[in-house]
Structure 1
């Protein structure tokens, strides 16, 4: 009510002030008739003004948090008020009620400007008062001197958000930005102190303790470079959420998070053809083997988004299947979810499951993947990776599955380990079945995924938490890494592209030295490598390569319509794999598997297939 009264006093006073200004230029007093005409207009103007201001939302706004959009509300309200005043004064009062001296039109224009300035200024005072109180509150608390890297929209947003929340623990000292045009400028009231190359000087000069990377669309390589510079200076590094959250206006101080190892990989954002993916998943019964694993469970999460008719979660471990089933049931209550406990090595059980659900699409993610462990248990590797795949693929063929996608590994290329050899044998199985089946069988190869079970990252994190040492097998050891969601997105995309028999290869980006990964994790944990946490080299384990094959550049690799997906050289031929399967089953049956002989057998069969004549 006080705000309404204030606005009416200001608006009426603006007209009287406009009259004084207008006639002062002519050096004469305001004619009495003009004042009388305006006074006769007030009973009509004031109610109309209250209605206009209310309709424009001036009395539903928290003005202490106002910004540019609210200024637009004020201008709309005062403009509407001026138009209505003109209609009342010239069309009603001076024509019918008080036909005195004509009020100059310039009066209402001057009054509109004064009214806008006064009403807008009053709201600005409320906003400034709040900012002042917050500044005092921030100064009174424990604040970390903070730099924001990126003086764009995201940086300005987070800077204002920090100012609004004095309890956040941050005090923005300035911005860093590599754009020369922004140097020396101010953004959200905070100066741009320099560029990336000035980080060391600014950290020392202003005693900076925290750096917030406010570039949600930045490439991974840039984040890695900036983070490495800051971490080397002992500065804590934080990042903003993804760009889509900024667009939706959901950024808050509470969403600023620590830099994670995924941010430092230099990976580019994955783009997928949502229409093509939806076309083969929507309305289908989709079965995922290994659905409780790190890759399998992420497959289920992403598949669920495309509206399958039914999603069958097949896995051997009851606890992991229970967890993913519970998670998806809560998130997708209308989706028909079927948890199935089954072992892919049990042919009879797999046949029963396929007969019951008759899926249209199958993702085969169940496999033993741990290289050193499979060197010690080669029989289980053959049974699970080769014959488990055979059981699932034959069941898919028998019930007429439309599309079968097997997840493979880069270790299947020129394998040197039991795990790699069995995964390559599994690829051969589905290529062999593809030649005699109406089902489209494809395989997708990729390298290491961060956060998966058996990944080196969780091991390093446990070792750091225990105070070290962090164990690395060899200082020359190099691997390719992807995040789990990234790998799964590309797997699903490759499944949409397959026509049958392809072995798709995912672009793994730049190779990462394992020792560098260990150092990054130690620094991200707040320690200094080789000072607080030692790194110890233990020597390569059985079956390990120092360098994985560069899949995207191997001879004969073909590009696809997706820049991150390639097709490995086609080694399909009319040569039967019956002999290979018989040899492998014989080894399993006798329980006498020689690792070197297994690897040699698969590699020799690869060579035999490559030199066999292809069907016309």
Structure 2
């Protein structure tokens, strides 16, 4: 039907039904049909016309019935009250003493009940027969029978993706109760209920749940053999569908054990807002996230440098799609090219540099040491020299925890890059502030262990781990980028900032957690029928069992609770330049022994490590909590 015809039909039906509503109100008030019919038909028609006019004012007739919600019905009830008041004033105005005023109150209740019943009946009929999509066959249970869970259950009634079948809750008082049309079962009956109802996934609807409790719930659900999802945000019920992104898969960062600290505005803005900013390695994991954070701070210009055409194109298109009005300039090339870097700094009048361009994958750099050293060392040298030459206000090096007592070429190259920036800080004076920010692994970055495990899980396993005892620090990529920007704002020159990443996490615990989050079980000697096994392949060349963030250097607090400031030993600029020249000459020979000797001469802590075969398979155990702590001065010795 045409929209006008639909509106005409609704008005016609209401004009027929509302007089009967008023007649019923009169019958209930006077208790006699004859007395009720004493009033002329014009009175009943007047009530109906005023009510339809009120409905029109509330936009009831323009609303799409399939998507009508509680707010629309509430507005309709209010305008119906105005219509009832208008009838009352008319009766008072014509001085009709025989008219029972209380009948109007009864009429409001009957008319409103008619509106709600008629619209909800039509809405449910249309949703059932006009959705055009098959009914959902993915049976889910909702963990948490409080208000968020009830809202989710009601909103999922018309979902074509999920079919809610029950609630689980820890409160025994709710056992066998009914909420939002679904039966509530105590979590003590979780496994048998999952089997009897054919539940395939459980959605955790506990917005304020702690990471520790979330881990416990996840383990219980994994033991019951169901996948775990989480309600990631609350939404307005409105008796409508749940938003597409209201429910998502449980992520490892949900279990980290601490909430990210929001950025401090005065630090976050200082080096970016209204400034010309350059990000090198802009297409990489850290570089691209830095760009995303920077554009929210409204720089005057943002310059991107990357030697990967695809990565540079991807991040540029993403940024322009979100901020089409922003001046974003993409430069394709290597930071090892001094003419390119100098041209960018001169023409762009760059105020701030975030140097994130580096080769970072330990096994690849270990087997391609010449390329790794040239890119990481020469690139940093070019950036530092150009920043000093063109008086860039702030120049920040993105370093790594692998630079601390390095056992591989990648870590040693990052430590040399730190030495370059430290040397530049002593020679450039007050015109340019150089600093370094050191942190560990970032969740979800390219080449990190979590995407690898996700791929291996999709392939049916096994999950490959280098060693049962290997552990790493982890941080959310967005938080890492925010801390980098804030650390640069606190720099005084030559500072090494260390991000507090909390407690290290064993990779084997991470693997077992990801297996559980997928609703699968680990295949072991004691559980040969499990879904996914673990395989230990031995440490990669140069790989450490444990990473470090601090050396024996002096550590100081900073203006941010998650950022520590260090002063480490540095080489004299002239000596460092000579060493780097000799290192590049050694790279020209492609002789590994000579190259490692030169690296050792520059980085005295560099100790190439011979790796050993993997230890026997560790027995399953619960994932250790990653307790992130706030930095406090009394923790530094």
1:7 paired residue among 14, 26, 30: 14
Deviation at 1:479, TM superposition (A): 0.9
- 2:432 matched residue in structure 1: 439
Deviation of 1:589 (Å): 1.5
| Inter-partner Cα distance in structure 2 for 1:587 and 1:191 | 71
Question: 1:227-273: per-residue Cα shift (whole Å, max 9, x none)?
Answer: 333233321223344458999x9943576443344445445345223
Which residue pairs with 1:302 in the alignment?
293
Partner of 2:611: none
Q: Is the 8 A contact 2:557 2:565 kept in 1?
A: no
Residue 230 (structure 2) pairs with residue 239 (structure 1): yes
Give deviations 1:497-542, integer Å, cap 9, x for gaps: 4344332222323422212333344555676433554432222233
Q: Secondary structure at the match of 2:305?
A: strand
Aligned match of 1:174 in 161, 166, 178?
166
Contact 1:289 1:314 in 2 (8 A): yes
Mapped pair 1:18 → 2:22? no
Q: Which residue of 2 aligns with 1:30?
A: 35
- Structure 1 CA distance, aligned partners of 2:217 and 2:237? 21
Verify: 1:75 aligned to 2:72, yes or no: no
More divergent stretch after superposition (153-162 vs 305-314)? 153-162
User: Larger helix proportion, structure 1 or 2?
Assistant: 1
1:54, distance to aligned residue in structure 2 (A): 0.4
**Counterpart among 148, 155, 179 of residue 187 in structure 1:** 179
Match of 2:104 among 103, 108, 118: 108
Q: Corresponding residue for 2:504?
A: 511
Once the two structures are TM-superposed, the CA of residue 163 in structure 1 deviates from its matched residue by 1.4
The runs of at least 4 consecutive aligned structure 1 residues that moved more than 6 Å come to 131-135, 244-247
Q: Summarize the Cα distance change of 1:467–1:182 in structure 2 as closer, same or farther, 3 Å threshold.
A: closer
Contact kept in structure 2, 1:270 and 1:489, CA below 8 Å: no
What is the deviation of 1:448?
A: 1.1
1:209 is aligned to 200
- SS of corresponding position for 1:568: strand
Aligned to 1:228, which of 204, 213, 219? 219
Q: TM-score, normalised by structure 1?
A: 0.83
From the superposition, tell whether residues 218 and 494 of structure 1 become closer, same or farther in structure 2 (CA, over 3 Å): farther
Q: Which structure has the higher relative contact order (CA within 8 Å, separation 6+)?
A: 2
Show CA shifts across 1:292-335 (max 9, x none).
22221222223223222221111122332223223333333222
Worse-superposed segment, 388-397 or 465-474: 465-474
> 1:79, CA displacement in angstroms?
0.3
Take 1:184 and 1:223, find their aligned partners in 2: how far apart are those partners?
24
Aligned residue in 1 for 2:579? 583
Distance in 2 between residues matched to 1:87 and 1:584, nearest whole Å: 95
Contact 2:171 2:186 in 1 (8 A): no
Is the Cα contact below 8 Å between 2:391 and 2:432 reproduced in 1?
A: yes
**TM-aligned CA distance change 1:440 to 1:108, over 3 Å:** same
Name 1:546's counterpart in structure 2.
Answer: 545
Partner of 2:139: 145
Aligned 8 A contact 2:425 2:432 in 1:
yes
- Alpha-carbon contact 1:224-1:266 (below 8 Å) kept: no
Contact 1:148 1:214 in 2 (8 A): yes
Structure 1: where are the runs of 5+ without partners? Answer: 95-99, 606-616
CA RMSD, Structure 1 to Structure 2 (Å):
3.6
Counterpart for residue 537 of structure 1: 536
1:293 maps to which of 259, 276, 284: 284
Partner of 1:508, secondary structure, is coil
CA distance in 1, matches of 2:15, 2:336: 82
Measure the CA separation in 2 of the matches of 1:384 and 1:331. 31
Partner of 1:229: helix, strand, or coil? helix
Structure 2 SS opposite 1:159: helix
Residue deviations 1:319-362 (CA, integer Å, cap 9, x gap)? 32223223333333222222212322232332222222121111
Give the match's secondary structure for 1:420. Answer: helix
Listed one character per residue, the Cα deviations across residues 462-517 of structure 1 (whole Å, up to 9, x for unaligned) are 54555554332110111122233332233223334434433222232342221233
Q: Which residue of 2 aligns with 1:281?
A: 272
